Structure 1
Amino acid sequence: MSANRRNLHQWVVFGPDWGRHPSTCQHLFNEMLGAHSVIWVETVGLRPPRLTLRDLSRSWQKLVDYVSGRRNRTTASRPGLTVLCPLTLPFPNSRLARKFNQWQIIRSVKRACRRLGFKDHTLVVTAPSHCDVVGSLGEGMSLFYCPDNYALWPGMNAHVVQHMEAELTDRVDAIVAVSEQLAERFKSSGKPVHVLTQGVNAAHFAQSLPARDSGQFEIVYFGMIDERLDVDLLIQLARRLPQARFRMIGPVLIDTRRLRELPNMRLEAQLPFADLPAALISANLFIMPFVVNELSKSCSPLKIKEYLACGRPVVAMALPETQRLKDYVHVAPDPNSFEDAVVAAFEGRLPFDLEAVKLMIAREGWEQKAQDFLEFAETQRRSIH
């Protein structure tokens, strides 16, 4: 969206940390900066922290961000963006912690709204725990932007999350979901529900073209290395194709010792979004080897369109969102078919229509998604006011 357009809206948005690794919601609002004013509120997640190096490091980082104000400084150059990092406690199952977080967040957001002259803004929340602040921030309208079914995630207290989500659904004015499967869960709420599928920054990932021959067929997965992955399938693939190199790029949330024992399997740390295309330039094939279960079927993986924007073939398990892209992605109904498709790609036998993929990706950019989101929000504001 052009930065020359007049300031159309004021938004208060609750989401993950801005810029650490862009979320779906961040991609949307990144397109609006310059034409819209955004207060982005970083809050803690729904899963209580565990005594792991990753969780302890993350908690320490949040404390440093709050005390130093570093998050504000790192985003100060973005026109129209204000990032808040309220001091909050990462214990969503504790009533006392929720009350403390509610007080801290409301206090911090209201102060920022007064300073920036926000009045009658639109509130956008992205997690069930945000139910505690809806209706308390002076918003003219509120939207629940739902990117996932959080109650299904391992480590969550499903009962607490479902209760929060029901309370949130009751309080907001409308709901935006990233897939038909997620939207279906809210159809009985009586609230307007809009489906806005994932977008892609096509120009960013096209930087991985043209592919560079590394001398070894390279099979790549990037994203969360978590409970959705079929580790047995990955091991079987690596053993069947010892000549290929397998790269798994992303934060590790599961035990990966069996994967690390494989000589042709590399696990690499999560990369900054800006650095991803350069790291993917030697990839020959992208894979999404998920176990097909209730958790994975509820997901709308952002990475599928990012894979395709790199201009390489993609093999994915048969999930609702991959089925929707079956004209561009090789969708495998079971692990054996998945394995056969990967072998076919290795042998140069897997069809891939690059021109058709480019045409589809060109229609799925975040700028178009942001415009769709804005049109829905404006329609809801008119119906309210």
Structure 2
Amino acid sequence: MQQLIVFGEDWGAHPSSTQHLMKHLQQQYELVWVNSIGLRRPTFTVRDGKRLLAKAKSMLKKTPSAPTSVSRSEFPVVEPKVIPWPSSSVARKLNGALLKNLLSSFTSEDKRPILWTSLPSAVDVVGKLNEKAVIYYCGDDFTSLAGVDHAPVAVMEQELVEKADLVIVASQELAKKFPADKTVVLEHGVDYEEFSSASKYSAPRPEDLKMGRPIVGFYGSIADWIDVELIKSVAHKLPDWEFVFIGSVQTDISAIKELPNISLLGPKPHNELPNYVAHWQVSWLPFRQCGQIDACNPLKLREYLALGKPIVSSEFPALEPYKQLVNTATTAEEFVNAIEVAACDSPKLISEKAMVSEVQSWLDVEFLSSNTQLRRHSVSKESWRTKSEQVHQLITLLRP
């Protein structure tokens, strides 16, 4: 069985596209997962301090030498003992040696693994493991991603692209950055069965989801690419709506934190998200215009579509194939109107309007059911299993 050494985010920390793919590819490859190698030098903040402490504890644990069960995986998950200082040439050379030593117990001269990296910082071990081939899987524009030392990481990425046999990108915008002769676009997938089967009738309502008002909901990292001022303005203009945010806060939200119709629920396990969306009326993507969003292909877009609920979103390139199924807006006034229009695509809200006749209500629900099915159908063939099969085909085409 071909060995695949994967450099990605911390396994189980959040459901990244690489993790979704590897959950399926582990049936076809001997996997070794290497947790996150930092893309910036730590700062003197509480958040960085906690992360460094957690990393230090993980490093002190004995490196697994055999497959272990970690968050539904059946392969080793190892913590790299490296220095998170991408701008230091000394740290980079040391990290390359440390990674080679760390991974020597998992591979051998005759195995010739394939290296898969989702992070440019893994470039320093490339060429040191007698690898058969190198795959760079790029899901973000690291030159504009928040929380990254952009200049040194850009240098690392360029070095990695030159060494890579294959570059897989998540969007057409990202593809423009790399050589066309070795770059393939593979857009994100979705856990279709899990998300499409959830509804307000079958999914239990989470206890921390407020009752009494229609809900506009968002889940994901609440970071610099979220338009906090837009959210504040829309929430003020729609006081009868509840605005729910699920995810870790990584930016200044003081402008909205105390608003009476804003609920910040914190991060939730991925498998609980369908239960939340099933009980809100409108899903939304209040993105700020920036380089990161221009290049992104957010997983949550396809998950929202699979759930079938109306969606209101800012404009961004990866939205284009689904624009007929999404209400888009730019200004706060446009967002307010889009949310009110999307609300008419909610059987629950329509059925509560006393002025609607029984016949008209039935017709509306039939129409709404059709809209729900259209949204779900748009991503029905975009499962992560299908995407992993496409990745497998790409790997088989790599040089022997």
TM-score, structure 2 normalization? 0.86
- In structure 1, the residue matched to 2:364 is none
User: Which shows bigger deviation, 250-259 or 206-215?
Assistant: 206-215
- In structure 2, the residue matched to 1:93 is 87
Aligned ranges 1:72-91 → 2 under 5 Å: 75=70, 78-79=73-74, 81-91=75-85
- In structure 1, the residue matched to 2:378 is 360
* 8 A Cα contact 1:20 1:272, kept in partner: no
RMSD: 2.4
- In structure 2, the residue matched to 1:311 is 308
Structure 1 portions without partners, runs of 5+: 1-6
User: Which shows bigger deviation, 367-376 or 286-295?
Assistant: 286-295
- In structure 2, the residue matched to 1:201 is 191
Following superposition, the deviation at residue 208 of structure 1 comes to: 3.5
Give the secondary structure class of the aligned counterpart of 1:103: helix
- For 2:63 and 2:54, how far apart are their aligned partners in 1? 10
Aligned ranges 1:136-215 → 2 under 5 Å: 136-187=128-179, 191-206=181-196, 208-210=198-200, 214-215=211-212
- For 1:96 and 1:207, how far apart are their aligned partners in 2? 52
- In structure 1, the residue matched to 2:357 is none
Rg comparison, structure with higher value: 2
Work out whether 1:298 is the aligned partner of 2:295: yes
Following superposition, the deviation at residue 19 of structure 1 comes to: 1.3
Aligned ranges 1:186-265 → 2 under 5 Å: 186-187=178-179, 191-206=181-196, 208-210=198-200, 214-265=211-262
Give the secondary structure class of the aligned counterpart of 2:4: strand
Residue deviations 1:288-312, cap 9 Å, x none? 0111222311111111111122221
Amino acid aligned to 1:233: L
- For 2:95 and 2:117, how far apart are their aligned partners in 1? 15
* 8 A Cα contact 2:215 2:244, kept in partner: yes
Change (3 A) 1:229 1:78: closer
- In structure 1, the residue matched to 2:342 is 345
Following superposition, the deviation at residue 158 of structure 1 comes to: 2.4
- What is the aligned length? 370
- In structure 1, the residue matched to 2:356 is none
Following superposition, the deviation at residue 251 of structure 1 comes to: 1.2
- For 1:282 and 1:330, how far apart are their aligned partners in 2? 19
Give the secondary structure class of the aligned counterpart of 1:325: helix
Give the secondary structure class of the aligned counterpart of 2:263: strand
Alignment counterpart, residue 96 of structure 2, candidates 78, 88, 102: 102
TM-score, structure 1 normalization? 0.89
Residue deviations 1:327-377, cap 9 Å, x none? 322232544323320122345589961111222221010000001111112
- For 2:331 and 2:337, how far apart are their aligned partners in 1? 10
Alignment counterpart, residue 50 of structure 1, candidates 22, 39, 43: 43
Change (3 A) 1:145 1:325: same
Following superposition, the deviation at residue 157 of structure 1 comes to: 3.0
- In structure 2, the residue matched to 1:275 is 272
- In structure 2, the residue matched to 1:28 is 21
* 8 A Cα contact 1:199 1:305, kept in partner: yes
Structure 2 portions without partners, runs of 5+: 348-366
Residue deviations 1:144-197, cap 9 Å, x none? 001011011234332212211111111111110001110111136xx4111000
Following superposition, the deviation at residue 25 of structure 1 comes to: 0.7
- In structure 1, the residue matched to 2:392 is 374
- For 1:349 and 1:205, how far apart are their aligned partners in 2? 18
User: Which shows bigger deviation, 98-107 or 311-320?
Assistant: 98-107
- How many percent of aligned residue pairs carry the same amino acid? 29
Residue deviations 1:62-91, cap 9 Å, x none? 111121249875529733x11111212222
Change (3 A) 1:185 1:334: farther
- For 2:333 and 2:310, how far apart are their aligned partners in 1? 18
- For 2:132 and 2:284, how far apart are their aligned partners in 1? 43
- For 1:88 and 1:137, how far apart are their aligned partners in 2? 17
